[in-house]
Structure 1
């Protein structure tokens, strides 16, 4: 069982994309006994976050029906076509409007199923122990999400727009950055070929 830390971190899962390269809503693709979006939520709920927000956009009604019963808050980003930056901005705006008390926000994606609660916990522990402005995941010399952003840069996250995601801000604060290695698990699923290969690798006896 993972050790849960008493932290002030709010988790935002980005799941607003249209999955155009996949040809169907990848958020609802089967993953083990659930779906990609349900799996991402389960990893979040296994960590003691203040609250878990899920940002939806494309295919809102379909995905909402699948996850609305879970103990999460769902944000509808009507401007999802503008890109990931708009979903981050919308989430931070909602968090600030709700006056949610948190030391930082953890941002992750719904299409990285190898990212698990253990990795999210590692990010959280580094953030708490060292009080960096950002704790990001590292892979192949790059830094990205999942990442935790300190509340003193929420305003900059809120001002993101169009297709500029969090990596822009991570780069800006590279001198106040801690990195947790995610080389083996930071795989995005964008196409049906990638999905089928990952299923064959991790569920050789079938995805069930």
Structure 2
């Protein structure tokens, strides 16, 4: 049986938020040998044959200095204050302007550092089996990102309301998704207490 062609996937890392609950830019908090956003990019670079787009917004200059040396496309969402939907829109617009034609977009965040490359590769394997179907992550809070959204839904991503994220599209098409369980690694960081707890947990694991 011939091998299925590997789908062309663009990676979209969302990093435009102000980290209001954190009290300081979440993106540049130390994590292992880098920062949270540096870790997210290093992890993304391990996925072969994908293009990486990083959308910044709040604290743009501070975050940009941390990542400008990486081989990624850095975007600035001027309307980051209006919500995640606008950040996704700015990323999808840039992806559509690329000369490559993508089968899907892998959307991820910077505040889920425990998710490893194996999880992302499993998502890609699921998507490769059926690239017309969303491949999403099962989290404690429900089904969400990281997720690979097929290109046929790009127009819907472009039409997201400002305060709606990718989970809105996933929920809308819940009957047409494949899922990968994050187990206990899908925890995200929203407060400084959660950050310190995760640092302690990661150090002791």
User: Which stretch of the first structure deviates more once superposed, 64-73 or 124-133?
Assistant: 124-133
List per-residue Cα deviations over 1:119-177 (Å, max 9, x = no partner): 11110011001334200000237100000000011110011121101111101111110
Shift of residue 203, structure 1, vs aligned partner: 1.1
Residue 133 of structure 1 aligns with which residue? 133
Q: What secondary structure is seen at the aligned counterpart in 1 of 2:70? A: coil
8 Å CA contact retained: 2:103, 2:131: no
8 Å CA contact retained: 1:50, 1:102: no
Does residue 186 of structure 2 align to residue 189 of structure 1? Answer: no
CA distance in 1, matches of 2:110, 2:144: 14
After superposition, where does 1:1-208 map in structure 2 within 5 Å?
6-140=6-140, 142-204=142-204
CA distance in 2, matches of 1:116, 1:85: 25
8 Å CA contact retained: 2:104, 2:131: no
Structure 1 unaligned spans of 5+: none
The root-mean-square deviation of aligned C-alpha atoms, in Å, is 1.5
User: Which stretch of the first structure deviates more once superposed, 56-65 or 138-147?
Assistant: 138-147
CA distance in 2, matches of 1:185, 1:49: 25
CA distance in 2, matches of 1:167, 1:61: 28
Q: What secondary structure is seen at the aligned counterpart in 1 of 2:81? A: helix
List per-residue Cα deviations over 1:1-22 (Å, max 9, x = no partner): xxxx944100000000001111
TM-score using structure 1 length = 0.92
Q: What secondary structure is seen at the aligned counterpart in 2 of 1:78? A: coil
TM-score using structure 2 length = 0.94
8 Å CA contact retained: 2:137, 2:179: yes
Structure 2 unaligned spans of 5+: none
